[in-house]
Structure 1
């Protein structure tokens, strides 16, 4: 089996990945320098190859993405016929949850404001702060990332409710799970609302003026999922009115966010440029290598693949 890997793995991470199929032939390249010949020879490609280059993958059996999202690959005909598509759900829970938790906690303690004041050489007192202890936290999306976030918030003494399409069992870290249909009645009680929802017709524009109007006055809103969840003009209005005390965003629409976009200048907003995940935390690539090893072993054994995307 010919495996083409497009990820910047360490030697240890390569060993983890290759343990899934020790007898396979491995080629390591980058997404910029990979050749059409390498793509054509690959039976497995590991990494988010530009979809425009996939027609060259004539031998492809499996495309293992390095991302949890797969929007760019889900359109009919994008992945070559007969090839399976798997994503990296389970790789980013620690990285994204810690990043978003830190952003919210920084806003609760006004650390973002004090950093700005310090750069202006200002000795200020920004007044009362808030805490996760005893807070009602609403997590939209109770998958891997949402569960990691719930554990962090719970360790600080928060009461955490998860929201997802189907209720089912309550994952570790959550105090309760509710359905998306319950969202209107849950928003008014939440001190923190954070979303890790994927992009879908049901989620695009969900966080609009009506959404923010239902939120508890003075609550915090955060988005670590997809930027198109939020109607950004409505978020700006909610921040300007004080309905929302602060917003922490790692995703926006569009990305990159233009320098003249009014979202930058909204009051009490903390924006990072979609960097919560990616490969900034080394554990992410280690996790992806382990997921890939599992799928290589499953592919060779003819077993169901992990994180299979139904095309």
Structure 2
């Protein structure tokens, strides 16, 4: 049967044969064929489908999406608002459609024994391509030339850079960082990865190092790219003193978590021309306040956290593949992929 939800969309309920035992609240943007796949993956468990394919582009769920079934929900697939998830006290497992799960790890959001899995691995292509495009755009000073175009100004702006032969330091060597490293190597860059366990090889890197090596490496690299999670150890890992260590021709890219970079220190470094330029898809805070100096900094390229998400159609396919595989694993009693807790 179907009934109207709070946002005016359709909630489709399917009785799998054991009503009341478990309830899967499916917040993924599925077409009818995909819904059937999820139903077949969990026979005997009720499923409620909260959104339709019209949500594929935004991946932002309607307010109140869980209010009709908070007391029953035992499994949630997708990223509903945390305050609504916190009201689901019978929750056994949350599978997000995002790679980052920081919001759901905060105290009180999930029941103590609930499992949490992410969609890590779905975004490597899109985020790394965004980082790569930012790097090259800054190196060639294209934002500056776009500014000149708007002013009707036809004149050269000076020296530019090339990734060929440069040293690219990537902080975070997971799916996104490794994908960015491979793109960089493809145009002639040498790549160094920073990770907690540098003794474990990762494809795409010429060399691996530990976080303790960061200060020694910064003065000699041409690009610093961040694809880090948000942790107490990574907060402001790039701060004022470390920006001063970098070359005046260095480029900084961040598409991991905004708090990895001290944005005020970055603005000051760009004003002093301590580095060549920066590209940020994430900031701290997010978005930046209206009066933040990075908005008007000509050597800083800002995008509104769009490197991942559903902006590249293939991302959604990868998200659904991970979620469907994990649902099958859950039903079979096998270990889940991307277990975060």
TM bin, normalised by shorter chain, reads over 0.9
Question: How far apart, in 2, do the equivalents of 1:18 and 1:132 lie?
Answer: 48
Q: SS at 2:192's partner residue?
A: strand
Partner of 1:6: 27
Contact conserved, 2:236 with 2:261, CA < 8 A, in 1?
A: yes
| 2:75 maps to which of 17, 36, 44 | 44
Partner of 2:11: none
Q: Say if 2:159 is the partner of 1:138.
A: no
Residue by residue over 1:94-114, the C-alpha shift from the partner in whole angstroms, topping out at 9 and shown as x without a partner, is: 111111110111111121111
Question: How do 1:178-257 residues align onto structure 2 when only pairs under 5 Å count?
Answer: 178-257=209-288
Contact conserved, 1:103 with 1:248, CA < 8 A, in 2?
A: yes
Q: Say if 2:99 is the partner of 1:68.
A: yes
Q: 1:82 to 1:232 in 2, by over 3 A?
A: closer
Q: 1:62 to 1:122 in 2, by over 3 A?
A: same
Q: Say if 2:284 is the partner of 1:263.
A: no
Question: How far apart, in 2, do the equivalents of 1:16 and 1:126 lie?
Answer: 55
Residue by residue over 1:1-57, the C-alpha shift from the partner in whole angstroms, topping out at 9 and shown as x without a partner, is: 532221323456546655643665432214325242334333321111212112442
Offset at 1:181? 0.4
Partner of 1:302: 333
Question: How far apart, in 2, do the equivalents of 1:59 and 1:295 lie?
Answer: 19
Total equivalences in the alignment: 310
Unaligned residue ranges in structure 2 (runs of 5+): 1-21, 52-60
Q: 1:295 to 1:50 in 2, by over 3 A?
A: same
Tell which has more relative contact order, 1 or 2 (C-alpha 8 A, sep 6+): 1
Offset at 1:161? 0.6
Partner of 1:29: 50
**RMSD of aligned Cα (Å):** 1.9
| 1:129 maps to which of 146, 155, 160 | 160
Report the TM-score when normalising by structure 1. Answer: 0.93
Q: 1:145 to 1:11 in 2, by over 3 A?
A: farther
Question: How far apart, in 1, do the equivalents of 2:309 and 2:252 lie?
Answer: 22
Q: SS at 1:3's partner residue?
A: strand
| 1:54 maps to which of 73, 85, 95 | 85
Rg: which structure is higher? Answer: 2
